[in-house]
């Protein structure tokens, strides 16, 4: 569990640390190895606690820079205390190249969707906590604090394959070709903020797929992709090539998340209409 107010790390004020006493136990798959279960539980706990912290800061009127920084300090302090041998890649902290030689790297976004976080009434912002090890994403948790939702790679399922009728896209920079893809599928585009919020929308069935082009960073997609993969969804670049994490340059050009049965047609249409628009 997180440190109590008495032993809270000094870079996170004790009165801002979240109360975890009422939390339900993690929802984890019992057939996973114990060490992995522990990492998933930690990802869930930290994402949830950082989300509570952000809710309190939002209610107090903190600006996004202060909120981002405070949540980042909390996550870094907890990971340093509880996984001291692991490296961390965070949106809000300087990148340490030593992570490239580390066997385990936590990839975190303390606040994904800063624009939405500061917009009154918006709920499409998230906290991402993921663990990369052995060349793969092995654990991930995404919390949508304003909705009280926490999605984890421990145990989540989206049910049987389904047709793509609604596609989540960026609400500020969706590429023009996505409209043509949607038209060919008989689908509609659903703009929203935060990669975590978009993947959560796929998981709950609010939308069926998520398309992104124009670039994002590893911390934007790592935890959402880990959760989506655990749910059996197709996750890849929009040309169908695999996603890679813990690279020297954490920039990631694009992303597709969809039901596996729809992936082939989605890649075909994206390739066609993206080339037409270039």
Query: What residues are designated binding site for Mg(2+)?
Result: 91, 109, 111-112, 220
Q: Which of 238, 233, 229, 235 is nearest to 266 (CA)?
A: 238
Euclidean distance between CA atoms 51 and 36, whole angstroms = 22
Both structure tokens of 103: 């066997």
Q: What is the 3-state secondary structure (H, E, C) of the chain?
A: CCCCHHHCCCCCCHHHCCCCCCCCCCCCCCCCCHHHHHHHHHHHHHHHHHHHHHHHHHHCCCCHHHHHHHHHHHHHHHHHHHCCCCEEEECCCCCCHHHHHCCEEEEEEEEECHHHHCCCCCCCCEEEEEEEECCEEEEEEEEEHHHCEEEECCCCCCCCCCCCCEEEEECCCCCCHHHHHHHHHCCEEEEECCHHHHHHHHHHCCCCEEEEEEEEEHHHHHHHHHHHHHCCCEEECCCCCCCCCCCCCCEEEEEEEECHHHHHHHHHHHHHHHHHHC
Helix (H) or strand (E) holding 150, with range, is strand 149-152
Phi, psi of 233 (to 5 degrees): -80, 155
Q: Which of 208, 168, 211, 174 is nearest to 192 (CA)?
A: 168
Binding residues, as ranges, are 91, 109, 111-112, 220
């Amino acid at each position: 569990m997180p440190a109590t107010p008495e032993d809270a790390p000094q870079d996170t004020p004790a009165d801002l640390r979240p109360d975890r006493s009422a939390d339900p136990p993690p929802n984890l798959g019992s057939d996973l190895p114990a060490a992995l279960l522990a990492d998933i539980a930690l990802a869930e706990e930290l994402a949830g606690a950082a989300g509570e912290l952000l809710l309190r800061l939002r209610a107090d009127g903190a600006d996004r820079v202060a909120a981002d920084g405070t949540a980042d300090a909390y996550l870094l302090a907890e990971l340093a205390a509880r996984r001291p041998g692991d490296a961390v890649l965070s949106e809000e902290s300087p990148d340490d190249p030593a992570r490239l030689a580390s066997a385990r790297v936590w990839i975190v976004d303390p606040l994904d969707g800063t624009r939405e976080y500061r917009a009154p009434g918006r709920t499409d912002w998230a906290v991402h906590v993921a663990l990369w090890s052995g060349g793969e994403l092995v654990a991930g948790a995404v919390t949508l604090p304003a909705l009280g939702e926490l999605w984890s790679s421990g145990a989540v399922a989206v049910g049987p394959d389904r047709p793509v009728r609604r596609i989540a896209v960026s609400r500020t920079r969706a590429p023009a070709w996505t409209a043509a893809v949607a038209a060919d599928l008989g689908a509609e585009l659903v703009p929203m903020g935060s990669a975590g919020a978009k993947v959560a929308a796929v998981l709950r069935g609010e939308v069926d797929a998520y398309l992104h082009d124009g670039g994002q960073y590893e911390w934007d997609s790592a935890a959402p992709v880990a959760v989506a993969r655990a749910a059996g969804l197709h996750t890849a670049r929009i040309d169908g090539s695999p996603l890679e994490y813990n690279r020297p340059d954490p920039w990631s050009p694009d992303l597709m998340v969809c039901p596996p049965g729809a992936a082939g047609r989605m890649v075909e249409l994206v390739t066609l209409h993206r080339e037409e628009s270039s």
